[in-house]
Homo-oligomer: A and B are copies of this chain.
Amino acid sequence: MHNNQHIYLNGEILRAQEAAISPFDIGLLRGYAVFDLLQTVRGVPFMVTEHLQRFRASAAQLGLAVPASDADIVTAIEDLLGRNGHKEATVRLVLTGGVSPDGMHFDPTTPTFYILTHEMFDVPASFYVSGATLLTHEHRRELPEAKTTNYLTWLKNHPRIDEAGALDVLYHSGGIISEAATASFYVVRDSKILAPEKGVLWGTVGSLVLELAKGHFEIVYGAVSLEDALSADEAFLTSSVRGVVPIVRLDDHEIGNGAPGPVTKKLMHLYRDRVYG
């Protein structure tokens, strides 16, 4: 099915099965690549500006530049969405260092840039109603401020996550929480939102939610410890494809009373209101 889809590759729209990535691509040989992922809302790309800004920032951290203007990228995305006919889609932008004949050197002026669309996956409704579990894992993402394609630790933990019925894995290092593998993570204590600030990816939806939270709740930016999370009143994660999800368990440990709390519910409401009107 994905083979019949259209993709954008280095300025062209092609069918996926015609779109050849070189086996010498440094994105394959050395994992030297960044990406970004956005969703559509009623078929329209959501927060494109913010995602493109983050995508360019990720690229810059690897010494790469996205070889297309925002306008050209938006046109390509709309073209793909029109052809691929999803109900709702996630749109994936991928940028690698390009072809490397020796597996070591590459020319940053000839990167590989492509765009894929996927049918939006369903998040189980129970995660929003009853809250979700995260498994904790001692790990710190490499170049955490860049959205690189390195998800080794996440994928290696996937079977364990699925088996536990968990949503994702929560990374911590030296007792300090950073983020979930595929989402930002926040803690609520005494109606204040504690937001990890350093060594994390800038969350597009996370930033929007904190913006919406202003005026309702105090936000404290800084280091958040695993201890803070375990003894918190509430916790939640944010991600582009999932929005706001209450987190009610870390491993076997219940957070608060083990149910979505009032602050999280308010944020879910504010976010849905903003997105779906």
Instruction: Give me the interface of A with B, judged by CB distance under 8 Å.
Output: 1-3, 7, 9, 16, 19-33, 35, 37, 61-63, 92, 94, 96-97, 99, 101-104, 114, 116, 118-119, 121, 139, 142-143, 148-156, 159
Copies in the complex: 2
Majority DSSP secondary structure for residues of A touching B? mixed
Q: List 9 A-B contacts (CB under 8 A).
A: A16-B24, A24-B116, A28-B28, A28-B94, A29-B94, A29-B149, A31-B33, A31-B148, A31-B152
Is A150 a contact of B23 with CB atoms below 8 Å?
Answer: no
Which of B24, B30, B97 touches A149 (beta carbons < 8 Å)? B30
Residue of chain B at shortest CB distance from A153: B142
CA distance A35 to B143 in the complex (A): 22
CA distance A203 to B155 in the complex (A): 25
Is A31 a contact of B31 with CB atoms below 8 Å?
Answer: yes
B-side contacts of A31, CB under 8 Å: 31, 33, 148-152
Give, as a whole number of angstroms, the nearest-CB distance from A173 to chain B: 10
Which of B99, B102, B104, B149 touches A28 (beta carbons < 8 Å)? B149
Give, as a whole number of angstroms, the nearest-CB distance from A184 to chain B: 18
Is B33 a contact of A28 with CB atoms below 8 Å?
Answer: yes
B-side contacts of A30, CB under 8 Å: 149-152, 154-155
Is B92 a contact of A29 with CB atoms below 8 Å?
Answer: yes
Give, as a whole number of angstroms, the nearest-CB distance from A241 to chain B: 10
CA distance A169 to B92 in the complex (A): 33
Residue of chain B at shortest CB distance from A174: B174
Is A21 a contact of B28 with CB atoms below 8 Å?
Answer: yes
